[in-house]
Structure 1
């Protein structure tokens, strides 16, 4: 594998931005780790999103994500969006436009990443779980699959560690969020209207001791009532890296990329 720490200028944000990138490399002499290249010239890619208190370094620092993907021929792009909740903020920067539009275009211009729907996936934890499903449900033509680990999925009415003041700066009021493209429940209803082969595959997991467990249960019930193609898993676990390090391995097993190899 190759690991790249990439600093660049964002025209959307008007500031310097950062992402960490793992790129496939076929190797035969690494001790203790297999290395595999992508099947074609452009790599399938997983956009891996961080939580509220983290940044683009957190997945590399707190999991073995590079080792987990080493034999898959899969690139991983890990951006920073600060405490934006993957939104174009009410009072702040346009982080949703940055991460959903500008970032993939820049990443593909810097690195040999595929732009085909069947090669693009997105996953994240907590705030990033919300961001991951938001990517796939808002842009089902771009992503084949999305995974939420302990996601903060009920942004309009569920639990959050944001203060009321910070929530207002990000999104306004909860009533303003309901029914909009920042509301996963509304986005799920739109996605359910698509033919099954145009809907992204969804993966959702949450530990039973997690403070977001009930929010996840509400989204699960809603998604299943709509007939979305969602795989759900739960087991004992809390809102911590012991759980996420375990479950990201399960997400990688689940990705439809596995069926193509």
Structure 2
């Protein structure tokens, strides 16, 4: 596998953005794992960081490069600051960047990466779990499957939000906190919109540690997805909101992405 650190200019954000990319590469190693590259139609995972992370954190804290070598898959890991994968009220359009502009940049710079829905995936942790779920719900036509690990996928509990950052931060992201529910940033609203649209829905995977404060949110979201008769897998295991859990479960996510759907 090849690991690339890419500095791109975002016309949407009007700033330089760092993106780390793992690409399949043909290697013949005497020590280690040999891999096979591909010249075209490489499947791709958009892998999103959480609060406090950036484009480098998945590579630094997990064995994602080693795990993905078995699947001939590219991994795109962008930096989106603390923008919560949302078009913020302070005029930083992180949602437009991640959902529209980033795939265009990826296909321009890496033409071997697929543009086929059936080979395109998204995953993330915590804030990134919210972002991945949001991609699956709001851009369902672009993704075969999405995965949320320890995702902040229920935004109705304002008191819980305020234990993480102060009110000014959240208002900068979402606007008035009493207006999050039922808005385009509310996963439950996006779920209703997806069902009503009759667009093709991706497969959904949610996992969370049983000692994680966000465990009830993942349980609840999985329940709501099942109520709408969407294809959802919910798995749990011992663990907190930490990299021990995420390193273990991103390997499971890759396995799940590559399972044959019914």
TM-score bracket relative to the smaller structure? over 0.9
Distance 1:235 1:148 in 2: 14
Distance 2:35 2:241 in 1: 31
The yes-or-no answer on 1:71 pairing with 2:70 is yes
Structure 2: unaligned runs, 5 residues or longer:
none
SS at match of 1:33: coil
Distance 1:30-1:141 versus aligned 2 partners, 3 A rule = farther
Output aligned runs, 1:151-230, within 5 Å: 151-157=151-157, 159-160=160-161, 161-193=164-196, 198-230=200-232
What is the deviation of 1:238? Answer: 0.2
SS at match of 2:122: strand
Distance 1:70 1:133 in 2: 24
Output aligned runs, 1:28-67, within 5 Å: 28-29=28-29, 31-38=31-38, 41-67=40-66
Larger deviation: 87-96 or 158-167?
158-167
The structure 2 residue matched to 1:254, chosen from 238, 253, 256, is 256
What is the deviation of 1:195? Answer: 5.5
The alignment's C-alpha RMSD in Å is 1.7
User: What is the aligned partner in structure 1 of residue 4 from structure 2?
Assistant: 4
TM-score, normalising length from structure 1? Answer: 0.93
Distance 1:88-1:194 versus aligned 2 partners, 3 A rule = closer
Distance 1:42 1:224 in 2: 32
The yes-or-no answer on 1:23 pairing with 2:23 is yes
User: What is the aligned partner in structure 1 of residue 89 from structure 2?
Assistant: 90
Contact map agreement 1:92 1:169 (CA 8 A) in 2: no
SS at match of 1:165: helix
Distance 2:166 2:52 in 1: 14
Post-superposition CA distance 1:3-28 (Å, at most 9, x none): 10000111111111110000001223
SS at match of 2:223: helix
Post-superposition CA distance 1:38-59 (Å, at most 9, x none): 4x61211000000011000000
Count of aligned pairs between the two proteins: 257
